[in-house]
Chains A and B, each alone.
Chain A
Amino acid sequence: MNALEVEHLVKRFGTVTAVDDVSLTVREGETFGFLGPNGAGKTTTIRLMTGVLTPDTGTVRINGIDIHRHPLDAKMQMGVIPESSTVYGDLSAEQNLHLSGKMYGMSRALRNTRIDEILSQLGFAEKRHSPVNTFSKGMKQRVSIACAIIHRPKILVLDEPTSGLDVQSRRLVIETIRHMNEQGSTIFLTTHNIEEANTLCQTVCIINKGKIVAMDSPERLKKMFDTTQSVEVSFDRAVTRDLFVAEGIIRAEPCGDKWRLYTDNPDRVLKYLVLRAERESLGITSLTTTGPSLEEAFVQITECA
């Protein structure tokens, strides 16, 4: 069964078509990544899907329920984490969670049990009574996520949930998304972090200028759009770009204290590097090869469109 069906969604703001005939399907239990550059129409699509905005044309069905015909029933199935950590700063974490639970019609007893569970799962049980205004950005985002999952939604919609978070908060958020997915929730996720989409999502959809330009599994997208691989190398002393002028190296880019060499023949490049290092008396401090990246595929797709 499909958890989410979007058909021919169109939304115009004046003369600008923000979402242009978007259709997609998310299967039950799937983690679906929705990627696109800034201004591509991701957030507008999410707002249309979650009933925040009304489309000019098109339909959105949540577990078979049309969200614009039966908004309340459809919204009951969902938990939504908007782009910013949208919680009430004057209320405590616990009060925010109670408010959210009441919105979903949960009884006080059920709310109390669930709040205890979530607070310890997301690691802020000891701060449950503190006003959210006093929290860090990462903590606020955790409260925002907690508010969205309090009723164990069948579909969790997240708009850039890890944007601007520190490493610990980001890991916790990703773990929570994984946990919700393991518990049976379908996940619809937008992110700027391509690696995140690569590791979390079974299907990735790329939107550009309001239109869907690619939709497939991350591995297939990578293969479809990029056959280039790369070799990352660092030496015990600084080298110039001239070192990497050789057959088989398509281009070389400095990457921190390393160089990333793009190639379609990594074996040849590895051998060249070892030989050249020996000749120049350079010590290789690290050497890694990576396959085609989703990021490269993303860049190619969005630049082509």
Chain B
Amino acid sequence: MEVPLSVRGILVITEKNMRLYYTKPPVLMFGVLFPVFMFFAFFVGRHLDLATYFPAFLAMMLFFTASSVGPLITPWEKREKTYERLLSYPVTQDSIILGDVLAGAIFGIGISLLVWIVSAFFVPVTIMYAGMFFLAFILGTLSCAALGVLLAAPASNSPPNVMIFSNLIRFPLIFISGIFVPLSEMQGWALTLAYCSPLTYLVDLFNAAMIGTSALSPVVDGGVLIVVFGGFILAARFIQQRNMMKGM
């Protein structure tokens, strides 16, 4: 009986999150507006080859959208005191974490696909390996959504504090992940830093899938994203369990 109950819990929590949090201002601000403005700031009037940089832009878009929902949910629920009721329903903490990840992932996929479709009218977007592209999309969105949930795990009950903290982590990542400077042009400590960012592997995998060139093997990129996804979930689970030992 436990397994179907757990699955139902995840789905109901995902639906609840989609209904409640997709239209919250911080999500729209950091999940939609910000990456679009970043794109304009870096690409408009710079005569860059949009088709070459499009995989990196798509990765950045996916990164911001998928990781913007997670940091909001837990602190918001703790502030509104709905978190306690949620835990008293027949759901486990794991179902809550996975429901939050799924809500972030679906948001990331939805918005990024929309941007991709609209961009296709203006940018000559190509996909060389559709299967790999699909896999990159799924792995990328799950990893980024898991990062969002991890960022909320040590949360207080103050959504603004958590959003600030999450942006402190997320913003530096876009500068060290091969989005604006390709990995092939990085050297020394910059390259070491780039390999520490999960976004690097997503950008590289998108490059491999869309334009056929990548710095690392797609298998390595995919493998790292799977490990990162699992690692983020386990870390979020560990931190939330530790928080619960201290009280609500």
- List A residues at the B interface (Cβ < 8 Å): 13-14, 44, 47, 50-54, 70-73, 75-76, 78, 80, 82-84, 86-91, 95, 99-100, 102-105, 144, 147
Contacts and interface: CB of A to CB of B under 8 A. Distances in A.
A82 B12 contact: no
A73 B247 contact: no
A76 B20 contact: no
A91 B88 contact: no
B2 interface: yes
Q: Which 4 A-B pairs have the closest CB atoms?
A: A80-B88, A75-B90, A86-B85, A103-B89
Nearest to B241: A54
25 contacts: A14-B246, A44-B247, A52-B84, A53-B244, A54-B244, A70-B2, A72-B1, A72-B5, A73-B1, A73-B2, A73-B90, A76-B90, A80-B88, A83-B81, A86-B82, A87-B82, A88-B16, A90-B20, A91-B19, A95-B19, A100-B89, A102-B15, A103-B90, A104-B90, A105-B8
A90 B17 CA distance: 12
B220 interface: no
Contacts of A103: 9, 12, 89-91
Contacts of B19: 91, 95
B159 to A, nearest CB: 14
Nearest to B13: A103
Interface of B: 1-2, 5-6, 8-9, 12, 15-16, 19-20, 80-82, 84-85, 87-92, 244-248
A52 B87 CA distance: 5
Contacts of A99: 12, 16
Contacts of A54: 244-245
Nearest to B2: A72
Contact of B20 (A75, A84, A88, A147): A88
A204 B82 CA distance: 28
Nearest to B23: A90
Contacts of A72: 1-2, 5-6, 9, 90-92
B82 A88 contact: yes
Contacts of B248: 47, 52-53
A13 B15 CA distance: 34
Given A89-B80, A91-B20, A82 B8 contact: no
Mostly helix, strand, loop or mixed at chain B's interface?
A: helix
A172 B244 CA distance: 34
Contact of B89 (A47, A88, A104): A104
A86 B81 contact: yes
A105 B81 CA distance: 23
A177 B2 CA distance: 30
A151 B174 CA distance: 48
A86 B77 CA distance: 9
Nearest to B5: A72
A80 B244 CA distance: 18
Contacts of B9: 72, 103
Nearest to B247: A13
B161 to A, nearest CB: 21
Contacts of A51: 87-88
Contacts of B16: 88, 99
A12 to B, nearest CB: 9
A82 B81 contact: yes
Given A13-B246, A54-B244, A72-B90, A47 B84 contact: yes
Contacts of A91: 19-20
Given A47-B248, A54-B244, A91-B19, A80 B85 contact: yes
Contacts of A50: 87-88
A53 B241 CA distance: 9
Residue from B9, B87, B248 whose CB has the most chain A CB atoms within 10 Å = B87
Contacts of B81: 82-84, 86
Contacts of A70: 2
Given A70-B2, A86-B84, A88-B80, A53 B92 contact: no
Nearest to B95: A72
B244 to A, nearest CB: 6
A109 B12 CA distance: 17
A87 to B, nearest CB: 7
Residue from B2, B5, B15, B90 whose CB has the most chain A CB atoms within 10 Å = B90
B103 to A, nearest CB: 14
Given A14-B246, A54-B244, A95-B19, 10 more contacts: A72-B1, A72-B6, A75-B89, A78-B88, A82-B81, A82-B88, A99-B16, A100-B89, A103-B91, A144-B85
A173 B246 CA distance: 32
Residue from B20, B84, B245, B248 whose CB has the most chain A CB atoms within 10 Å = B84
